Structure 1
Amino acid sequence: MQTEIYSKTVTLNFTQCYANGRLKYSELNNLLQLTASEHAEILGFGYQAMASQSQSWVLSRIRMEIDRLPKFLEEITVKTWVQDFLGNRSIRNFEVYRKDKKIIGVCSFWAVFNTQLRRSENLAIKVDPAIVLPERSATQESFKRIEQDTDYDQTSSYLSKLSDLDIVNHVNNVKYTDWCFDLLPAETVLKKTFRSIDINYLKELKLAEAVDIHQRVHPESAHFAITRADKTIFLMQANF
C-alpha cells in the first residue's frame, strides 16, 4: 500500500458553502486539516499517537494558490504529502482536484507542540524517511513571513468562545479566517475570488481571551492582523 501520497474525495454540502454556492475559504482550510490528520494517522503520527506523548501538530504558516473555488455538490479530491521533515517541524503540501483538473495548490508549515508545556519540541515518534517527497511541490511560491501593515483602516474587537476551541484546547486555525473575512463587505467575498492567501499563525489563543481584529483593503489585496494586548497572534494577506 502506497502511503506517501494520501487522497480524500468528498462531495461539498451546503454547510461548507457561501451564499453564492462556492466553498468557504475557512472550509477549504478545514478540509486540508482533516485530510492531513487522516494521512498522519496512517503514517503513525496522528492525533492518538501524539496525544500519548503529550504532543500535537499545530499549523504555523500556509499559502493557498486558488484557480477557482469548487461549489455545492461538486465532488473534489484532496491529495496531500509530506515534502520535508526535520525534528520539530514539517512541510506538508496539498492539491485539490475537480475531476482531473487541479484547481488549488497549498503549501503549509507545521510545528510539533507539547500540549502540557505549551511549546514546540522534537517529535517523539520515529518517522520513516521514505514517506518524505522533497522534490514534489504544490505551489508556485512557498509559504512566507508576512510583514505586518501598520496602517489598518478598520478594527473590531472579539472575545474567543467555546465554539472556537478545538481538541487541543485553543482556538482552531480555521476560525481566524472567518473572523477576518466577516469584516469585509459581503460582495467582496462573494463576487471575487482570492487568487492566493498567505497566513501566519504566531501565538495560540485560548478561551475568553479578548483580541482586536485589524483590516486594510488595497485594490489588489486585503491585509489582516489579530492582536492580543498589543501582541500579534495572527497575520493574513489575501490577494485578488
Structure 2
Amino acid sequence: MLHANIPYLCRKKVKKIWKEQYAVNWDDISLDGKLSLTGLNIMLQRAATYHAEHLGFGFTQTSVYNASWVLFRINLELIRMPEWCDQVVVETWPRVVKGLAAYRDFIVTTPEGEVLCRATSEWFIIDLTSRRPQQIEKYVDVELYTMPTAGSPTDLSAEGMEVGKPTDRQAVTRDIPTLSRNTDYETLFEVIPKYSDMDMNGHTNARKYFDWLTDAMHQDNGKLNPTFVQMTYFSECTLGEHLVIQRNTSEKGLYRGQKTAHDKTAFVAMVEMSNGG
C-alpha cells in the first residue's frame, strides 16, 4: 500500500514527460572536446531527479521513510556526442514498474530535434538502513509511473503527450546484450572512493563509475568512441573501500570494478565501439 503521506498528484497537473535543456559546459567535456560519458550521465540523473520530485516520489518524499532511489542499470545508445557549447534537450519519462524495478527512459536531442542518445534505466528504492530493495508500490503511485499503452484512455492531459499517440515508448529499441558471466579479468588500475565521491545515500555517486570506466577504456585501447554502453551497479562502494578496475581478457569491451576486501563485484560495464574500436 502507498504510504499515506506521499501525495497523489492530480494527473491534469502532472508532466509525465519531462524536458530539460542544458548547455555542454567546459566541465562536461573530455579531452576530445565532446560531451563525456560522465557529463552525459550527470545530465540524465539531474533530469530524472527533477522529474521524480515533480511527480511526488523523489528523494524529498522517500527520505521521510528512510528510503531512496538507487540506479541499478543504465543502457546508453550513443548516436553522436555533442561538443562544447552545444545545447542539448534531455527528455525523460517513467515507463513501467516490474517487480522491484522501476524503468525510466531518456532521449537526448539537439534543440532542432536531432537524436543524439537514447537510454533506458532500471532503478530500485532501498531502505537506507537495511540497504535492501523495497516494494515500489509502498512509495510510488504506480499509475503515475506507468505510461499508457496504445489503445488505452488518452485523457491524461499531461504536457508532452499527444492524444492518440502510443506512449509506452521504449527509448532503446535495439537488442540489449545479455550480461556476460565471463570471469577472465586482469587489473588495469586501483581506486579508493573519497569523500568528494559520496552522495547523500552514503555511497559513491553513480557518475563516478563512468569516470572509472572512461579511464579503463582509454588505458585498454586508447579509443573513446563508444556506440553503446551498459553499466550495471551490483554493489555499493563506500568511503575508503579499495577497488581494482579490470578488463576482461576474453571478451572485448567488458570491464568491471571489483572490491578487494571480499572479492565482490561493484559494477560490470559492456562497451561497443565504432570503427572496430
When normalised by structure 2's length, the TM-score is 0.79
Corresponding position of 1:159:
192
For the Cα contact (< 8 Å) 1:149–1:223, is it kept in 2?
no
Corresponding position of 1:222:
253
Deviation by residue 1:29-87 (Cα, 9 ceiling, x = unmatched): 11111100000001000111011011111111110001111111111000000110246
**1:198 alignment partner, SS class:** strand
For the Cα contact (< 8 Å) 1:108–1:143, is it kept in 2?
no
Corresponding position of 1:235:
268
Structure with bigger gyration radius: 2
* Aligned-pair CA distance for 1:132: 1.6
Q: Which deviates the most, 147-156 or 89-98?
A: 147-156
**1:149 alignment partner, SS class:** coil
Corresponding position of 2:165:
none
Unaligned runs of 5+ in 1: none
* Aligned amino acid, residue 222 of structure 1: G
Alignment of 1:70-109 (within 5 A): 70-86=82-98, 88-98=100-110, 99-109=112-122
* Aligned-pair CA distance for 1:188: 5.4
The 1-side partners of 2:258 and 2:187 are apart by 13
The 1-side partners of 2:98 and 2:228 are apart by 27
Distance 1:100 1:188, change over 3 A: farther
Distance 1:187 1:235, change over 3 A: closer
Corresponding position of 2:227:
195
When normalised by structure 1's length, the TM-score is 0.91
* Aligned-pair CA distance for 1:149: 3.3
* Aligned-pair CA distance for 1:130: 4.4
Corresponding position of 2:154:
none
User: Taking every aligned residue pair, what percent have the same amino acid on both sides?
Assistant: 26
For the Cα contact (< 8 Å) 1:3–1:131, is it kept in 2?
no
For the Cα contact (< 8 Å) 1:93–1:137, is it kept in 2?
yes
* Aligned-pair CA distance for 1:155: 3.1
**Deviation beyond 6 Å, 4+ runs, structure 1:** none
* Aligned amino acid, residue 158 of structure 1: V
The 2-side partners of 1:90 and 1:2 are apart by 18
Question: How much is the aligned-residue C-alpha RMSD, in angstroms?
Answer: 2.2
For the Cα contact (< 8 Å) 1:4–1:132, is it kept in 2?
no
Distance 1:126 1:200, change over 3 A: closer
Distance 1:205 1:64, change over 3 A: same
Distance 1:145 1:55, change over 3 A: farther
Alignment of 1:27-46 (within 5 A): 27-46=39-58
For the Cα contact (< 8 Å) 1:94–1:106, is it kept in 2?
yes
The 2-side partners of 1:68 and 1:121 are apart by 37
- Structure with the higher strand share, 1 or 2: 1
